[in-house]
């Protein structure tokens, strides 16, 4: 049964991510991002990291996807005529994909990216909180500040300005 759940959540994650990239409608792409995040949360639950799954659902699926949807609807993006992919873009994407696969394979072979968690160290809320409020406090605050700036930028960019003529 765990193998079936793993394959289901992995299919949801990868399939949702592919549909995000390939979808032309921005609202549908945001919904497929939500599906992909649900698959990743399911994988976290299978790894006995329920706290990470909950935080992922709460922060990313709950807040970020909702923010994406509000921004998409606020900007009123409509799919227009898209330019076909050029040969250079297809070649660059192929080279990037091959390099990514070779890098992951190399990391797995060297043992730098273990496929199983280290024994004896289980996830706990105390460990997460200690790392979050000591080691990673500044990066978390910087990311929060950057999200605030992005939100303010979207508000400014989406504001409609009317052109008024001056009276002579």
Q: What's the predicted TM-score (pTM) here?
A: 0.56
Mean pLDDT over the full length of the chain: 79
DSSP track, the chain: -HHHHHHHHHHHHHHHHHHHHH-SSHHHHHHHHHHHHHHHHHHHHHTT-HHHHHHIIIIIIIIIHHHHHHHHHHHT----PPPPPPHHHHHHHHHHHHHHHHHHHHHHHHTSS-SSPPTT----HHHHHHHHHTTTHHHHHHHHHHHHHHHHHHHHHH------PPP-
Tens digit of pLDDT for each residue in 52-80?
888 888 888 877 778 777 777 777 666 55
State pLDDT tens for residues 155-166. Answer: 776 666 666 676
CA 39 to chain centre: 12
pLDDT at residue 107 greater than cutoff 70: yes
Sort 36 into a burial class: Cβ within 10 Å, 0-12 / 13-18 / 19+. buried
pLDDT at 122 over 60: no
Mean pLDDT of 92-101: 88
Domains of the chain: 1-78 (1.20.120.1200)
Give the sign of the dihedral formed by CA 125, CA 131, CA 137, CA 142.
negative
């Amino acid at each position: 049964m765990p193998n079936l759940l793993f394959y289901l959540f992995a299919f949801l994650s990868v399939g949702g991510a592919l549909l995000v990239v390939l979808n032309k409608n921005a609202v549908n792409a945001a919904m497929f991002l939500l599906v992909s995040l649900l698959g990743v949360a399911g994988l976290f639950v299978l790894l006995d990291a329920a706290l990470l799954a909950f935080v992922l659902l709460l922060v990313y699926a709950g807040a970020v996807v909702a923010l994406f949807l509000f921004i998409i609807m606020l900007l009123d993006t409509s799919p227009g005529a898209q330019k076909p992919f050029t040969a250079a873009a297809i070649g660059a994407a192929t080279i990037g994909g091959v390099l990514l696969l070779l890098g992951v394979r190399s990391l797995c072979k060297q043992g730098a990216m273990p496929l199983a968690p280290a024994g004896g160290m289980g996830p706990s809320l105390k460990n997460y909180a200690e790392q979050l409020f000591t080691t990673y406090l500044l990066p978390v605050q910087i990311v929060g500040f950057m999200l605030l700036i992005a939100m303010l930028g979207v508000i400014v960019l989406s504001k409609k300005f009317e052109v008024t003529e001056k009276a002579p």
